């Protein structure tokens, strides 16, 4: 019985810890998507296509994550250390180069 409680607690910590990254992923990708211009170069075209696809896939991840959390009876806010890391990633994505933003947005 005690092991089951630990497993539920661990699942809760895992899910709450990663939720900010799952939920905010499109905001990490948006600045690098804005840095691209269709038709400027084949590399820009590819980067734009990949980032747009990633944002669409991220929406599916949010929906799956919410369903998984509901099934595991997990609710609550993320830990402050996770929120700080999310803000750091957003800062790199907003202020860094296209390459740095792409790397910071990668989970």
Question: For the segment 2-39, what is each residue's pLDDT rounded down to a tens digit?
Answer: 565 667 778 777 777 778 778 888 877 787 788 788 88
Give the integer Cα–Cα distance in Å for 94 and 104: 10
Of 56, 4, 69, 65, nearest in space to 29 by CA = 56
Regarding predicted confidence, which is higher, 107 or 33?
Answer: 33
| Domain spans in the chain, listed from the N-terminal domain onward | 2-105
Regarding predicted confidence, which is higher, 44 or 86?
Answer: 44
Q: Which CATH fold would you assign to the domain 2-105?
A: Heme Oxygenase; Chain A (1.20.910)
Of 19, 21, 43, nearest in space to 32 by CA = 43
Give the integer Cα–Cα distance in Å for 93 and 79: 22
Q: Is the pLDDT of residue 103 over 70?
A: no
Q: pTM of the predicted model, to two decimals?
A: 0.58
Share of the chain above pLDDT 70, in %: 77
8 Å CB contact between 48 and 32: no
């Amino acid at each position: 019985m005690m092991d089951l409680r630990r497993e539920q607690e661990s699942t809760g910590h895992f899910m709450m810890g990663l939720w900010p990254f799952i939920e905010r992923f499109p905001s990490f990708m948006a600045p690098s998507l804005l840095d691209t211009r269709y038709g400027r170069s084949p590399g820009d075209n590819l980067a734009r296509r990949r980032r747009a696809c990633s944002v669409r896939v991220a929406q599916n991840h949010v929906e799956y994550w919410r369903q998984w959390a509901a099934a595991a009876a997990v609710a609550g806010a993320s830990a402050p250390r996770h929120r700080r890391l999310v803000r750091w990633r957003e800062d790199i994505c907003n202020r860094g180069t296209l390459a740095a933003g792409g790397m910071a947005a990668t989970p």
